[in-house]
Copies of this chain bind each other. A is one copy, B any other.
Amino acid sequence: MFRKILVANRGEIALRVIWACKELGIKSVAVHSDIDADSLHVRFADESVCIGPALSSQSYLKIPAIIAAAEISNADAIHPGYGFLSENPEFAEICRACNITFIGPSPEVIALMGNKSEAKKTMKKAGVPVIPGSDGPVKSLDEAISIAKDITFPVILKASSGGGGKGMRVVYSENEMKDAFNLARSEAMASFNDDSLYLEKYLENPRHIEVQILGDKYGNIIHLNERECSIQRRHQKLIEEAPSPALTPALRKQICETAVRGAKFVNYQNAGTMEFLYDNGNFYFMEMNTRIQVEHPVTENITNIDLLISQILSACGDKMIYKQKEIKIVGHAMECRINAEDPFYFTPNPGKITTFHTPGGPGVRVDTAAYTGCVISPYYDSLIAKLVTRAPTRQDCISRMKRALESFIIEGIKTNIPLHLKILENRKFKMGKISTKFLEELLSR
């Protein structure tokens, strides 16, 4: 077992890792930027190291600072959380070179799955359905037009190294292709320093369904069922739930087993997520996230399996203790991401939280690093809390989420709680008739 784990992250996920360490009896080391000195992850970790100034590039993203912090504190493992360095193969590689266990898959798998067009190719080989489209990057505008005609419009252009919606363009006809291609290419270049694009069939009303994967170092890979994350805005998820209201048991089995097949093909280790677009009984591999996800509590709630503890044990070399057939879904779970932002204009709203009262009672979980008096800094992501509910049915779960949102008091800054309440009261949402377009449509009304 590890003696000491350095948590290379901040905010709620850093706390989440610290809880897991405490429950396993492992010491934890928090790293922090100077403005995060009063953060809860610093307070609750056994040790802490200030690694740089507020700017992420000078602190949470600075590999030498984090490795040095691990060295001076004698940490034998690093948990990267999500975001920051969590999917950086170079970081995982350096950890390995420094004899520090990176809690996640191997650098090779991170690199392979981190390149979206390569990942797609690989999954195709593994027999995982992918969206019809270019086989890897499209070399020219002409090639883009020819493939688009082949798979029929609309199509979507995406940056090979992309994420977060940057470098994406939906193209409905041949006429639009030229402008879209050039725009997407320059966005990709500006954002990722890589202008290569790929192209695929654009689904009009897809659902975002993802499968949680868990693997050990001995080739044992299981899935912990799916999550549906269709409620999103510009590819930023807002509400996630499990199980997906769209899937029949047969489809669930099919999509989850397909995900396991894909993960086995790349000899996946540790926790990861296979993201699919689902439309009308068909599902297509989109990408794989080679890390813990923000929405992992949803899966923890329906399976009663602690994913962070599983990650640590797996990285430590423990053999998988779960058998696929023993994984049971209990009830329904849902997560609302509470962001410090204007609920309808989405402008970030950093500032000091003057009152912070979290909801309690049955079936309510809150993952947060915020507290009364803390300052939400403009330097980092606007997620301030994850509110997660569980209940026997989806309907009960929504009622519980509603009352929890209504009794979550955050004063001093604006949050998106009013937006969540609006979504929860929507008739289509209540019926489970959602797609990745849901929020856009709700907001345009």
How far apart are the CA atoms of A366 and B362 in the complex, in Å? 8
Q: Is the CB of B368 within 8 A of A360?
A: yes
How far apart are the CA atoms of A15 and B16 in the complex, in Å? 27
Q: Is the CB of B372 within 8 A of A365?
A: no
Q: Is the CB of B366 within 8 A of A22?
A: no
A23 within 8 A of B: yes
Complex interface bits, A83-124 against B, C-beta within 8 A gives 1, otherwise 0: 000000000000000000000000000000000000000000
State which of A68-76, A163-171, A397-405 sits at the interface with chain B: A397-405
Contacts of A357 in B (CB 8 A): 40, 371-372
Q: Is the CB of A23 within 8 A of B358?
A: no
Q: Is the CB of A23 within 8 A of B331?
A: no
Q: Is the CB of B367 within 8 A of A23?
A: no
How many residues in A have their beta carbons less than 8 Å from beta carbons of B?
Answer: 42
A57 within 8 A of B: no
**Copies of this chain, tallied across the complex:** 2
A82 within 8 A of B: no
Beta-carbon contacts under 8 Å, A1-46 to B? 15-16, 19, 22-25, 40, 44
How far apart are the CA atoms of A154 and B403 in the complex, in Å? 52
Contacts of A330 in B (CB 8 A): 304, 330
How far apart are the CA atoms of A371 and B410 in the complex, in Å? 12
Q: Is the CB of A362 within 8 A of B19?
A: yes
Q: Is the CB of A360 within 8 A of B355?
A: no
Contacts of A356 in B (CB 8 A): 372
Contacts of A40 in B (CB 8 A): 357
Q: Is the CB of A406 within 8 A of B361?
A: no
Contacts of A194 in B (CB 8 A): none
Q: Is the CB of A306 within 8 A of B362?
A: yes
What residue in chain B is nearest A386 (Cβ atoms)? B360
Contacts of A371 in B (CB 8 A): 355, 357, 409
- With A23-B402, A371-B409 already in contact, 19 other A-B pairs whose C-beta atoms are closer than 8 Å: A15-B361, A19-B362, A19-B407, A22-B399, A22-B403, A24-B399, A297-B362, A300-B362, A304-B392, A306-B362, A306-B391, A330-B330, A355-B372, A357-B371, A358-B360, A360-B365, A360-B366, A362-B365, A372-B373
